[in-house]
Amino acid sequence: MLLCCRDTSLNKDGVLEEIGIALDLAKQIPDPRFIFPLRLEPFQKIFGIGEIQRINFVGSWANGLHEVLEALESQSVPKQPAAEINPNWENYKTRLSIQLEDAPEVLTSNWLRVASVPDVIRYFQPTGSVNHTLMETACKTGRYPAAAYLRGFFSFASLDEVNQELANVAKFEVHSEHNLMEFIAAGCASPAIRQNEAHRLVNAMFRQSWESYCRSRELYEYPYSKQLGFHVSEKQMPLGKRVSWGRQGQRRNSMLRNNAAGKVWQYGVSASPSFWPYPHFKLKSRVLFAELAGKVAGKVFDDPAQQHKFRRSGCKGWRNKAWHGRLMAFLELLSGDSQFIELPLSGSASIKLDATPILFTSSVSTALPDVLSDDDEEQDVTTLGNFHEEEDE
């Protein structure tokens, strides 16, 4: 059932009756995607189809029709053998499409390469009796990452550093030392730990190191559904200030905090360590909204659904160039004059990250311009631009 959705049609009794019949049939078949709502214009959600994924015709009926055909194809909906699509349809789709050029193009990723890590990870055990609850708490709340395991814990610290940090817990000794990359790839026999557990353990320690580093820089911490985000706040810069970034002779600048439509937005990132195909951190851009109290940021909106709505409406005017610029400015803020960002693992060991994202080369390019002026980047003084409320949310 292709359901054309607009308020004037959905409010009719006959249409509502047909939707009810289709919902019953969908349960009998069963087929949860029996109904395809086609969003012809913003409409009020109605019972039964409110959570079904819509196909959007607003803005471009050609794109909407293209999505319908793809959706029907993916559902293996039967077609009449003799049915043919007008060849002019393919011509129409390609007429305004972006042409590819057979030329390589360098692209900037959201990966930060791990330039260096300690060669060794150590497993420590107490020399005598120990309160395991106290030891585990010390591992979780200590200055540097440590992971409790069996009778002891893994750490990148030296023996002297451990016994100084955990003097109120017990006295410890080095049970064993392990090559870090071999430990991640295969685990170890003593203490017995499988590869997947070793991988998870080191991943958690690397993530803990990133989070500790961001807290030391006094970035604003916000818990998203699966990981923490760290945002630029008043402690780093006032609203509307630009951050310069880029190589000498190619310097640009971007904003990381400003007010728009009566709210304050603050850029930040979440980071996830990964070891394949080589050690790196994946960065995910975040935007956090707060109340505008005079000329400064007030209380952060604490409703996740509200934050999501603000991001959907407030950031949809940002182009890829704007997101890229904010990420580069954020990294410039963290690294300063250094080419690296150092995440402490102990008083004598750290993770050294390249402060510039990894570059990849695409085998093809497009005819789109690759250079924008600062005015093009931030043409709206609020930096958000094109602010529209989501009418159907």
Phi-psi map region of 218: left, alpha, beta (phi>0 left; psi -120 to 50 alpha):
left
N residues, the chain: 393
Amino acid symbol at 128: G
pLDDT in tens, 154-193: 999 999 999 999 999 999 999 999 999 999 999 999 999 9
At 379 the pLDDT is 41
pLDDT in tens, 340-369: 999 999 999 999 999 999 999 999 988 766
Residues of the chain above pLDDT 90, percent: 57
- 24-52: average pLDDT: 84
Sign of CA dihedral 19, 21, 23, 29: negative
pLDDT in tens, 89-140: 777 777 767 778 899 988 899 999 999 999 999 999 999 999 999 999 999 9
At 96 the pLDDT is 67
Domain ranges of the chain: 2-97, 107-114+212-377, 116-206
Residue 374 in this model has a pLDDT that exceeds 60: no
208: confidence class by pLDDT, cuts 50, 70, 90? very high
- 314-321: average pLDDT: 80
- DSSP per-residue codes, 149-208: ETTEEEESS-HHHHHHHTTTT--EEEEEEEEHHHHHHH-BTTTTB-HHHHHHHHHHHHHH
Residue 282 in this model has a pLDDT that exceeds 50: yes
pLDDT in tens, 295-309: 899 999 999 999 988
CB of 352 closer than 8 Å to CB of 116: yes
Phi and psi at 162, nearest 5°, equal -65, -50
Residue 66 in this model has a pLDDT that exceeds 50: yes
The interaxial angle of helices 87-95 and 61-74, nearest 10 deg, is: 120
At 43 the pLDDT is 83
At 283 the pLDDT is 97
CA distance 135 to 167: 11
35: confidence class by pLDDT, cuts 50, 70, 90? confident
Note if the bond before 191 is cis, omega within 30 degrees: yes
Residues of the chain above pLDDT 70, percent: 92
373: confidence class by pLDDT, cuts 50, 70, 90? low
371: confidence class by pLDDT, cuts 50, 70, 90? low
